């Protein structure tokens, strides 16, 4: 796997502690499915049998469109994925590195991954929704616990929402883990905020901002 994320040194990954995200004891009064315009920041960790990688992540959702950026520790590199209507572009700085009608394929091309990442499905998982899952499990409160999803390439993904936190009177995911093909994925979501429906596109992230960067 090449590109942005592999600029992270293995030694820095070993030293990162596993993040602890508390689950709010408060009861939600609305469903997370009602979230349509929001921004969430946190960290993304990906590893295989041979490699460990990590990056800060900031995701901005605007109805069916979204943008997110990945920034390696210390801001040494960044990658931005932007989906608008039926086109997704991936840029590094001012350079276009990939584009596709499928966000997962665009990211696959940009990072030279062996299988596409189910980006469109992750957009649903962030809200605690199963998306196009083959099967899913919910707890007694009606909150999504886990799901299985098979993408068009035949790769089977298993995702689990392991922790939640309260945001806008809804219990939203705070920790998601997933496996698919050779990849294990860990997503920490620790800073949620609302945005206006007509807000501008995702602004550059601040490399000095302290965000949790997850590892296995």
Question: Which among 106, 126, 101, 133 is positioned nearest to 117, based on CA atoms?
Answer: 106
Q: Percentage helix, strand, coil, to 5, in the chain?
A: 15, 45, 40
pTM of the model: 0.78
Q: How many helices (H) and strands (E) does the chain have?
A: 3, 11
Domains and CATH numbers, the chain: 4-194 (2.50.20.10)
> Does residue 148 contact residue 135 with C-beta atoms inside 8 Å?
yes
- pLDDT grade for 155, boundaries at 50, 70 and 90: very high
Rounded to whole angstroms, the Cα distance separating 133 from 112 reads 25
Indicate left, alpha or beta for 200 from its phi (over 0: left) and psi (-120 to 50: alpha): beta
pLDDT digits (tens, 9 = 90+) for 42-77: 999 888 888 777 899 999 999 889 999 999 875 557
The beta-strand segments (E) located in 63-182 are 65-71, 78-84, 87-92, 95-100, 135-138, 144-150, 156-167, 170-180
Question: Which among 88, 143, 142 is positioned nearest to 120, based on CA atoms?
Answer: 88
pLDDT digits (tens, 9 = 90+) for 114-144: 888 899 999 999 999 999 999 999 999 999 9
The stretch 187-216 carries a mean pLDDT of 62
- pLDDT grade for 198, boundaries at 50, 70 and 90: low
């Amino acid at each position: 796997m090449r590109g942005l994320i592999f600029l992270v040194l293995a030694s820095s990954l070993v030293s990162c502690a596993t993040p602890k995200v508390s689950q709010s004891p408060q009861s939600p009064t609305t469903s997370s499915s009602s979230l349509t315009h929001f921004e969430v920041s946190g960290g993304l960790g990906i590893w295989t049998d041979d490699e460990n990688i990590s990056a800060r992540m900031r995701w901005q959702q605007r109805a069916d469109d979204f943008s997110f950026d990945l920034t390696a520790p210390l801001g040494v590199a960044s990658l931005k994925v932007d989906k608008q209507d039926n086109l997704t572009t991936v840029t590094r700085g001012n350079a276009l590195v990939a584009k596709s009608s499928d966000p997962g394929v665009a990211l696959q091309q940009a990072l030279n991954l062996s299988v596409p990442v189910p980006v469109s499905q992750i957009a649903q998982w962030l809200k605690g929704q199963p998306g196009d899952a083959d099967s899913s499990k919910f707890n007694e409160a009606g909150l999504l616990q886990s799901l299985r999803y098979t993408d068009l390439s035949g790769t089977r993904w298993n995702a689990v929402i392991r922790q939640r936190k309260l945001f806008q009177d809804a219990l939203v995911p705070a920790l998601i883990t997933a496996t698919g093909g050779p990849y294990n994925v860990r997503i920490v979501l620790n800073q949620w905020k609302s945005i206006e429906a007509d807000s501008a596109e995702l602004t550059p992230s601040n490399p000095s901002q302290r965000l949790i960067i997850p590892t296995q």
